Amino acid sequence: MSRLTLSVMTTCRDSRSSSRAYCDRMARAALLTAGLLALAACSGGDEAEPPPLETVAPTTTLEPAPTTEAPETATSAPPATTVAATDPTTTETPTTDSATTDPEAAAGPSGDEPEFSEAFEVYEVAWRARRDAVASPDDETIRSKLAAFYSESALAPINQFLDDLAESDLRAQPNVESPSRVEFVRGESLSTDGEVVGMTICEVLTDIGIDRATGEVVRTQTDAFLNQVFLVRIDTSWVVDSETTVTQFPEQETCQ
């Protein structure tokens, strides 16, 4: 249960002046916000939106990503995505293991291979398209663009998250003063045929949670997520096939 949910429950329990309607409304908002945070990044996964609000990191529960191997060893394709709960980025138990956060600790490709830079550029465009959809979950024109960047297995949980967000009492508003962002951390794996790449990504979500009914701001927290992402080349184009949150950094703007 999130800090926000506990805070609301404690306030409504201890304060005789709190109205029942206010407490009910804030409790619903707190629970929904917690769900959105569990769903922070979104693919086979965060813009659930958590994700923080996707963070919305959109949490999708994915099976563990393939183990990183030495440069000359081919890695298997990532497992199929299954739905769980964050802006479909799967969230695993947070850890501060230095092997996870220290770029020098990773074995495998150097990360300088052109496949990594190409795949990351596609991932970043896909991520921005997803963030646009999180901000406007009921806009089918915006949502239709996602199919070009995600595999079917990765897109399914994202669409489910967006459907739930569109019907919820909470909406995610982009923070224009401190926009959400994603950064390449390191290359993890590269298949021998160059058709599958694994990367570690740092996602920072800054969305503002707004109560649809009252317009009241219910969440302003920034969270960072260390995600493991796999992309596959289909025909001549890269698509995101899975994304798993390995470590969450609450109330931080970096993955350290």
pLDDT at 164 exceeding the cut of 80? yes
Stronger pLDDT, 74 or 88, i.e. the higher one: 88
Predicted local confidence at residue 115, as pLDDT = 87
pLDDT at 19 exceeding the cut of 90? no
What number does CATH give the domain 37-250? 3.10.450.50
What value does the mean pLDDT of the chain take? 73
pLDDT at 255 exceeding the cut of 90? yes
- Per-residue model confidence as pLDDT tens digits over 84-133: 334 655 444 344 343 333 433 333 455 678 889 999 999 999 999 999 99
pLDDT at 24 exceeding the cut of 70? no
Task: Give the whole-angstrom CA distance, residue 116 versus residue 121.
Answer: 9
From-to residues of CATH 3.10.450.50 in the chain: 37-250
